[in-house]
Amino acid sequence: MTLKDRLNAYERLMRLDKPIGILLLLWPTLWGLWFASAGLPPLDVLLIFITGTALMRSAGCVVNDFADRNFDPHVERTKERPLAAGVIRPKEALILAAVLMLCAFGLVLFLNDLTIRLAFVAAAIAVIYPFVKRVFPLPQAWLGVAFGFGIPMAYAALWKALPLVAWLLLLATVFWAIAYDTEYAMVDRDDDVKIGVKSSAILFGRYDVLGVMTAHALFLGLMTWIGIWQLRGAFYFAGLTIASALVIYQYLLIRERSRDGCFRAFLNNNWTGFAIFAGTAADWWRYPQVLL
């Protein structure tokens, strides 16, 4: 294998060719940074979190593929992944994951002690996730904690404390992750049943569409309540309104349960997250109040 081929394989292993995962992890982190900073976050902190998000998401993908290396060859969508196809050896994958995590941890060392301690928790959550879906019927909830943990870390970095609003934003992110990852799981449901992997799509069964929309409703409802509590203004709620319209569009995509429709709905969540971030960022410019 040439060096170019190996680098391409590493890129696919880290999903850098499919940045949707990084974006879905990034949006809640940015919500947390803007909520915690009452305005534009310090540039150094912002860059640390953005870079750390990309590194940890990449490491998580490597760990996930290592854990699933014996399952992925039996799933149509994943059988060509580098580990499943034997292009990269398991030992190489573990070394790559370790390097990525060490780089991310090196960035966190520029922050305070509380953030550093939370970084260990975040790493543990990310590493454990691939194994949770083998025993827990709703692994999407665990994924939501992993994808939303940047929020308490953002508050820790900027406040050196973990107020209630940080945990409520994390909870909202968990509901959001259950919604979008169920859409994703609906694509693989038949394969997951065959190989014995747990998912919310299997758990919800014929109520899968209802489950997705309920999770979305809880997510948007909680984000609305947080906005009212935190005295957010028109821009924030405009962002939530756009996000709500996107969720309705997702319903139209998944109601027939086609693989293409469910996958398109999953991808659409990038714009849902962006809409809320855009509203939050614009709103903080005009309404800088911060409540505990």
CATH classification of the domain holding 30: 1.10.357.140
Residue 155: is its pLDDT beyond 90? yes
pLDDT band at 1 (very low <50, low <70, confident <90, very high): low
Token pair of 268 as six digits: 């659409």
- DSSP-H helix ranges across 233-258: 234-254
What's the confidence (pLDDT) of residue 73? 76
Q: How far is CA 134 from the centre of its chain?
A: 19
The larger pLDDT score, comparing residue 252 to residue 82, is at 252
Residue 124 located in a structural domain: yes
Residue 7 located in a structural domain: yes
Other residues' Cβ atoms within 10 Å of the Cβ of residue 285: 12
Residue 270 located in a structural domain: yes
Q: Contact 104/59 with Cβ under 8 angstroms?
A: yes
Percent of the chain residues past pLDDT 70, beyond the cut: 96
Work out how many domains the chain is built from and give that number.
1
Residue 292 located in a structural domain: no
C-alpha to C-alpha distance for 197 and 217, rounded to whole angstroms: 27
C-alpha to C-alpha distance for 8 and 86, rounded to whole angstroms: 14
Residue 291: is its pLDDT beyond 70? no
Three-state DSSP state, 121: helix
Range 49-65 average pLDDT? 94
Range 232-260 average pLDDT? 96
With vertex at residue 12, the alpha carbon angle to CA 268 and CA 271, rounded to the nearest 5 degrees, is: 15
Helices (H) and strands (E) in the chain, counts: 12, 0
- In 3D space, the residue among 232, 239, 261 whose CA is nearest the CA of residue 249 turns out to be 261
What's the confidence (pLDDT) of residue 77? 73
Q: Contact 112/119 with Cβ under 8 angstroms?
A: no
Residue 227 located in a structural domain: yes
What's the confidence (pLDDT) of residue 115? 97
What's the confidence (pLDDT) of residue 292? 47
C-alpha to C-alpha distance for 272 and 183, rounded to whole angstroms: 14
What's the confidence (pLDDT) of residue 286? 58
What's the confidence (pLDDT) of residue 124? 95
The residues, any chain, with a CB within 8 Å of residue 196's CB and separated by 6 or more, are 134
Residue 291 located in a structural domain: no
Q: What is the pLDDT of residues 7-51, one digit of tens each?
A: 888 898 899 888 999 999 999 999 999 999 987 899 999 999 999
Range of the domain at 73: 3-286
Residue 47 located in a structural domain: yes
What's the confidence (pLDDT) of residue 285? 62
Q: What is the pLDDT of residues 121-148, one digit of tens each?
A: 999 999 999 888 888 999 999 999 999 9
What's the confidence (pLDDT) of residue 287? 52
What's the confidence (pLDDT) of residue 200? 93
Token pair of 137 as six digits: 């019927």
C-alpha to C-alpha distance for 176 and 169, rounded to whole angstroms: 11
pLDDT band at 191 (very low <50, low <70, confident <90, very high): confident
Range 166-187 average pLDDT? 97
Residue 113 located in a structural domain: yes
- The sign one gets for the Cα dihedral 182, 173, 10, 101 is negative
